[in-house]
Amino acid sequence: MDQRAREVVALLRQLWYGLSAYRLYPGALERPGFRAAVERIARAAAPVLAAGAVDLRIGPDGFATPAGEPLPGDEDALRLAHACFERGAERLTISAPPDAQDLAAFFEVLTTPPAAVEEAGGLEAALGEGRSVRLSPVGPEPVLGADRVVGDREPGVAPERPATDLLVEDLRGSEREQAETILERLRVFAAEAPGDPPRDPDFHRRLYDAVADLPRPLRLAVNEILIDRVGDDPFAQRLIGTLSNAELSRVLVDLGSEGRDPMELARHLAAVGVRPTDVVDLTAALQAGHEDAGTIIAGLERLGLKVDELPDQRATEESLAEVLARYLVATEQDDLRAIGGMADGDEERAAALLVAEDYVVLEEDPARIRQVLEVWGEAVRTALAERRSEELAALARIADRARARGPEHAVELRAAVRRALDAALLAEVVAAPDAVALLEPLGAGAVEALLDALAEEPDRGRRALLVGLLGNLAAAHPGPVLDRLSDERWYVVRNAVSILARVGSPVALDRLAAVAHHPQPTVRREVAGALVAIGGPGAIRILRDLATDPEEEVRARAVDSLGALTDPAAAAILAEVARTDPSGALRRRAVEALGGHPAPEATALLLELASRRGRPRLRRGLRRLAASLARERGGAG
């Protein structure tokens, strides 16, 4: 690949990044982010135009020279080609460094639906006259037979990927030889697919997905061949071209486990012009263990920011953080609002969330992180109101990254969720059939907001609904519920105990042991009931204390819970209650619970209670009941 071809691809890549920036705020030419994109495009265009105007063919497989030679594979350049081709363009010319107005006209066409471009009179009418960047419906030579999806015309049937089991069927020889066989089968599949070449822009990605599904040894062997040949094999170039920089870096690091030098492979990809030098820095970051750095460049590019080429050395999280920080400062942090879901398109919202996720990992200034988290709370509210469950999952990942930075950010996140979930929105979400799925990504913050609502809810039916919802959510986030056990309001403590009963986690035992001495009998009774769901020796020890509570209603609930536990120790406590409780009704209840107890030892305990020699001796009626229950269990009485 010659130098000019590499420079042309770099310019096309910058045009794609500029299109991403324009999509965030269409028509807003004065936004700092768009102005920065214009400057980067001008810098990339300068060396290219110094050697003459750019004149390229556009087809379903990407850009090519007027002579029909394909340009080097590049994922972003291919996306730009698809955007042009879908709107009827078969030729792209750039005659001078484009200014903001020319680029805005160009990007406006590429953000307009293909049918609308046709209705406006076609490409030339949509672009206007005298532009330095031109799209033409007919290239230097027409792309014969090329189908494109424009307006109401239906696309052809997309060829499927080959089945993985067919690729690995009847393989022989070494792993290298088997990998060669798999690649040959992929070539045959591609050659026999409808069209020549296949028209589906995602066709080669599906082919690579078949490679990704191979067993690890074969996958590594195939990837090694593809990377070694990518400079002179168009098929290998197309497959590798479907990978993002982050994906490709991970492939290189995986090959490092097989003895290849990932950095040498990355430099090879950059040297042959298949990828920019960014892949070298990303590979270095991944090798150094900075996995979080793997997505930041892709996220910045999709927002219109191309990271400056770094020196060929091991990248660090700090260097990437500085790049993002400089971008946010340069744009006066206006584009932080995009993190709040204010961009119009799903793709742009996802890109903004990706940047936010990396930002909270890499930024060192707590004040700047707080600013992002404030906007994060706004995004949570919007996503909940619009029922965007996938976006909520992305927001949850940002929250996880922020929590890992320090406890102060965990507190800020919980507060942000509580602000977002005001009473009106929470009422809507709680009533939704997918309430758990919507709130689950928000973690402890959602649990706290629901607990606040539960404390103020007067309607018994809605309280039951909230308790049920909290029982589902608090299993992963019991902390806020445990905190409510020390609340001054007895009914809040009771609610917390009821929720913990649904969770059934032993983590609550120590706290429940303290609450078992709460001054309000209703709370102590709730504790006795909750311990059934937790079980174990710890629960039995607490129930032993509750079985001697001053209030009969508490002791009665403890007896019921002891009867539901399978441990023989629970049966022994029931026998003690039957002998010593001051309430005759409760002594009878304990004997009946012992009769139904699953522990085999309960039979011997019943026989002891039925005996006249037992001390203290039970009244005749209870002794007869104990004897009868023992006989039913197979004991002699």
pLDDT digits (tens, 9 = 90+) for 272-307: 766 655 567 667 766 655 444 334 444 444 444 444
Please tell me the predicted confidence (pLDDT) of residue 153.
Answer: 35
Q: Which helix (H) or strand (E) holds 512?
A: helix 509-515
The C-alpha torsion from 429 through 431 and 432 to 434, rounded to 10°, is: 90
| Cα dihedral sign, 498-499-503-506 | negative
pTM for this predicted structure: 0.46
Q: What is the pLDDT of residue 146?
A: 40
Phi then psi dihedrals of residue 536, to 5 deg: 90, 170
Q: What is the pLDDT of residue 311?
A: 34
Amino acid identity for residue 478 in this structure: P
Q: How many residues does the chain have?
A: 637
Q: Alpha-carbon distance 46 to 311, whole Å?
A: 22
Q: Identify whether the C-beta of residue 491 lies closer than 8 Å to the C-beta of residue 461.
A: no
Q: Which of 9, 43, 59, 79 is nearest to 302 (CA)?
A: 79
Residue 201 has which token pair? 């822009």
Q: Report how far residue 50's alpha carbon sits from residue 45's, in angstroms, rounded to the nearest whole number.
A: 8
Tokens 């509750």 locate to: 546
Sign for the CA dihedral angle at 533, 535, 540, 541 comes to negative
The per-type count for the chain, helices as H runs and strands as E runs, is 35, 4
Q: Are strands 133-136 and 62-64 parallel, antiparallel or unpaired?
A: unpaired
Task: Quote the radius of gyration of the chain (alpha carbons, Å).
Answer: 34
The per-residue pLDDT for 327 is 38
Low-confidence ranges of the chain (pLDDT < 70): 1, 20-21, 23-25, 31-33, 138-165, 194-202, 244-246, 273-279, 281-282, 285-365, 367-369, 371-372, 635-637
pLDDT value for 34? 74
Contact of 533 with 497, CB cutoff 8 Å: no
Contact 294, 253 (CB under 8 A): no
The two three-digit tokens of residue 122, written as one number: 């076609």
Q: 593, 583, 582, 591: which is closest to 621 by C-alpha?
A: 591
Q: φ and ψ at 64, to 5 degrees? A: -145, 160
- What is d(CA 474, CA 444) in angstroms, rounded to the nearest whole number? 8
The residues, any chain, with a CB within 8 Å of residue 122's CB and separated by 6 or more, are: 88, 137
Side-chain-facing half-sphere of 167: CA atoms under 13 Å:
24
